[in-house]
Amino acid sequence: MFGSFTTLPIAFGLLFFFKYVRLIGNLIGYGTYKPIHPGTAPRLIRSPGNKDFAPQSDLSDDQPTKSFQACREPSPEYNSEEPLTPQDVTVIVPALDPSQESLRRFLPTCVQNNPKEIFLVTIDEKLGQAVTLAESISTRITVLSIERPNKRRQILEALPGVSTKIIILADDDVVWPRNLLKWMLAPFDGDPKIGGVGTNQRVMKGPKSTFWDFLNSQYLIRRNFDCTACAQIDGGLPCLSGRTVAYRAKILQDPAFMWEFTHETWRTYLLNVDDDNFLTRWMVNHGWNTWIQNHPDCEVLTTLENNPLYISQCLRWSRTNWRSNLKSMFQERTIWKRYPWSSFAVFQTTLTSWSPIYDLALSTSFWNMTAGISFGWQCCLRSIMCLWIFWGCRAVKYVEHWKQYPEDLVYLPLLPFVGYLHTIIIKFWAMCTINRCCPHSEVWSCHQHQLKVTRTRSLCPARHSPIRTTRPFS
C-alpha cells in the first residue's frame, strides 16, 4: 500500500502520538473533572488502615501528602473543626490607580461576598484617591500604600495585618460572582494539605463582541482547559492565576516565604513580575497541594487588552512562562516527581511545542504516506487529516465557549493562523527577549531591575515603606 514509503507510517505515528497524546489525555481529564461543591467536602483525619491521610495533629508544612484525587475517596472519620466561611477570608488587592473604573466595578462585588476584611494597597501619591474610594464603598476596606509601584511589595505590605486563615489575592480589574468565596473555600475543607485554590476565568465582553475579545477569550479558554485537566489527572497546575487566588494565610505569612517572595531573581536581577508563578512553584516545592474550582459560581470575569496592545500583553505572559517553566524544569525539578503528567502535558511544551513545525511535518508525511492509494480514498483521508491537524485539534477546546457565544463561530477559520502567529511571533520573540523582566509598558515595573542582588538572608524582609492605614470607618 505504501510502496517505498515504509518509514513514513512510523514517522507519522511518532509525530501524531507526541503531539496529540497530551490533548487526548487532557480531554479525558477535563471530561471527568468535578468541582468541589460547598458543604460537601469531607474534613478528613486518618483512620486505622488508611495510610493516605496523616493525623491532623501530626500535619506539618514539610509532610507532603498524595494529590487531592485521594481526598475524594475519604475515610469514614471526619474532622470536627468548623468549616471555613467568608469571615475566615482577607482579600488583598494591589492597585496602581484607584481612579480606574475597573476597580470601582470590582470592589462592590468583593464586598458582597462578605470577607472579613479587604486591604487595598496602592502607592503614596494615590493614597488620597484610594481612601476616598474605600469610604464610598465599605467600612471593611483598609487602605495601605508604599512608595513605588511594586506588586510583590504591595502584597507584602498587607500580610502582617491579616488575622484570618485564608488570604485571597485579587487583581483590580476583575468581577466576582456572588458566591465565589464559598466555592473557593470548599477545597480547603476537604484536605488540610491544600495550600492554594484557583478559579476559572472568562473575558468580560462588551455589548458587541470584537475580534480582540475573541483573541483574549481563546487565551483564557486554553488556560482553563489545561489547568482543569491537569488538576484532575495528577493535581498539578501550570499556574494559579493572580487574577483571583486563595492561599492559606500561614503559608504567605511565613517569614521564609516573605523573604523569598521579595528577593526572587532572574539571573542576577531582582524580579518583580511573575508573582503568581512564584507562588505556584512555592506550593509545589514545599509539599502543598493545589486545586482549581471550574464552575460558573467560581468564574471570575476580567478585562484584557482589546486593541493592538494585545500583542505586548501576550509577550509579557510568554516571557513569564519561559522564565517560570525553565525554573520549574531545570532549577527546582520538583514537578517531575510530583506531577509527571502536568510536566509532560504543560511544562515541557515550552521547549517542544512549535505548532507550525509539527503541523507541516504531520501533513507532509501523511500526504506522502497516502500517495499510493486510490484517488477517492486519498482525497477523503487527506481532507479528514488536514481538518484535524489544522482545525479539529484546536476547536475541541472551544466547544463550551461557542455554546455560550455562538457568534464567535465566525472566527473558527482563523484558529490555526492565530496559533501560528502566537508561536512564530510571540513565543519565539519572548524567548529571544526573556531577560526583559520589566518592560516599559509593564505597570508593575521593577525599579530595582538594574540593581545586582546581594543575597543576605534575614528572617523578615525590610519594609518598603511604613504602613499607612486610613482612619477607622464609622
pLDDT digits (tens, 9 = 90+) for 125-154: 999 999 999 999 999 999 999 999 999 999
Most confident by average pLDDT, 4-13, 60-69, 148-157, 205-214: 148-157
Query: Is 264 within 8 Å of 278 (Cβ atoms)?
Result: yes
The average pLDDT across 94-108 equals 95
pLDDT (tens digit, 9 = 90+) per residue, 303-359? 988 888 889 999 999 999 999 999 999 999 999 999 999 999 999 999 999 999 999
Q: If you search the block for the grid coordinates 466561611, which residue do you land on?
A: 85
Q: If you search the block for the grid coordinates 466555592, which residue do you land on?
A: 183
The 8-class DSSP code of residue 221 comes to H
pLDDT (tens digit, 9 = 90+) per residue, 249-304? 999 999 999 999 999 999 888 888 899 999 999 999 999 999 999 999 999 999 98
Span of 33-42, 307-316, 353-362, 375-384 with lowest mean pLDDT:
33-42
- pLDDT > 70? residue 74: no
Q: Cα separation of 233 and 254, whole Å?
A: 30
- pLDDT > 90? residue 175: yes
pLDDT of residue 436: 85
Angle between helices 375-387 and 355-369 (to 10 degrees): 170
pLDDT of residue 384: 95
Amino acid occupying residue 309 = L
- pLDDT > 50? residue 183: yes
Q: Largest alpha-carbon pair distance within the chain? A: 86
Q: If you search the block for the grid coordinates 460547598, which residue do you land on?
A: 38
CA-to-CA separations, 11 to 206, 361, 365, 370, 392, in angstroms, rounded: 47, 9, 7, 13, 21
CA-to-CA separations, 180 to 186, 196, 474, in angstroms, rounded: 10, 15, 27
Number of Cβ within 10 Å of residue 101's Cβ equals 9
Q: Cα separation of 203 and 408, whole Å?
A: 13
pLDDT of residue 372: 81
Q: Cα separation of 199 and 240, whole Å?
A: 8
Q: Which three cell numbers stand for residue 406?
A: 455562538
Q: Can you tell me whether residue 446 is helix, strand or coil?
A: coil
Q: CATH number for the 1-474 domain, one of 3.90.550.10, 3.30.470.20, 3.40.50.880, 3.30.413.10?
A: 3.90.550.10
CA-to-CA separations, 430 to 316, 318, 434, 443, in angstroms, rounded: 8, 6, 6, 18
Would you place residue 455 in the very low, low, confident or very high pLDDT band (cuts 50, 70, 90)? very low
Q: Can you tell me whether residue 150 is helix, strand or coil?
A: coil
pLDDT of residue 42: 58
pLDDT of residue 272: 87
Would you place residue 80 in the very low, low, confident or very high pLDDT band (cuts 50, 70, 90)? very low
Q: Which three cell numbers stand for residue 468?
A: 499607612
Half-sphere exposure of 165 (CA within 13 A, CB side): 14
Query: Is 369 within 8 Å of 5 (Cβ atoms)?
Result: yes
Q: If you search the block for the grid coordinates 481529564, which residue do you land on?
A: 29
Strand partners, 199: 293
Q: Is 197 exposed, middle or buried (0-12, 13-18, 19+ CB in 10 A)?
A: buried
